[in-house]
């Protein structure tokens, strides 16, 4: 797939390398989620892109674990090093991928802050990208 909204041939892994993945394409636009659930899951702002499930190949040596964080979504992490890697919403054809786990150069561009109404009191949102209170950022894949 060749598309200016996508970055092609992406790879990445967790801190210990126990979970590796490759994606034929990911969304170029990166979002930062400030919701409480993401903060608690990753220890800060969740920065992520997305890939269509059929474009994503997850390779692991048994370290990948999943936590059902809500009635509609689960989060994938390495049970060896603890790195947060994936966000998988039941109703979407895409899987969220933690931007920090993508091999560099990533080719990603910050496009939006979401759930800013739920940001922690110590967070300062001062970049030049749109802010969305309800998480509806309107950035589609790709």
Residue 1: pLDDT over 50: no
Supply the pLDDT for residue 93: 93
Q: Which residues pair with 109 in a beta bridge?
A: 29
What separation in angstroms does the CA of 101 have from each of 78, 79, 122?
11, 15, 25
Q: According to the model, what pLDDT value does residue 62 have?
A: 87
Inform me whether the pLDDT recorded for 141 exceeds 90: no
What is the distance between the alpha carbons of residues 23 and 50, in angstroms, rounded to a whole number? Answer: 10
The domains found in the chain, sorted by start residue, are: 6-124 (2.170.150.70)
Residue 111 to residue 124: CA distance in whole angstroms:
17
Which position has the token pair 């990208």?
129
What does the pLDDT look like over 58-103, one tens digit per residue? 987 789 999 999 999 999 999 999 999 999 999 999 999 999 999 9
Q: Identify the pLDDT of residue 140.
A: 63
Nearest to 56 by CA among 107, 3, 4, 9: 9
DSSP the chain: ---TTEEEEEEEE-SSSSEEEEEEEEESEEEEE--HHHHHHHSS-EEEEEEEGGGEEEEESS-EEEEE-SSSEEEEEETTT--EEEEEETT-SEEEEEGGGBPSS---EEEEEE-GGG--TT----SSS-EESSS---PPP-
pLDDT of residue 65: 96
């Amino acid at each position: 797939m060749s598309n200016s909204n996508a970055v092609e041939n992406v790879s990445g892994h967790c801190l210990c390398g126990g979970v590796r993945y490759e994606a034929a394409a990911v969304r170029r636009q990166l979002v930062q989620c400030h919701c409480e659930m993401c903060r608690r899951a990753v220890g800060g702002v969740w920065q992520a892109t997305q890939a269509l499930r059929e474009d994503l190949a997850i390779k692991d040596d048994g370290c990948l674990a999943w936590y059902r964080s809500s009635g509609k979504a689960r989060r994938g992490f390495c049970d060896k090093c603890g790195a947060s890697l994936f966000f998988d919403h039941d109703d979407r054809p895409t899987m969220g991928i933690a931007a920090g786990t993508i091999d560099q150069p990533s080719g990603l561009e910050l496009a939006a802050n979401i759930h800013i109404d739920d940001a922690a009191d110590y967070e300062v949102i001062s970049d030049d990208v749109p802010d969305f209170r309800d998480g509806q950022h309107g950035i589609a894949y790709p």
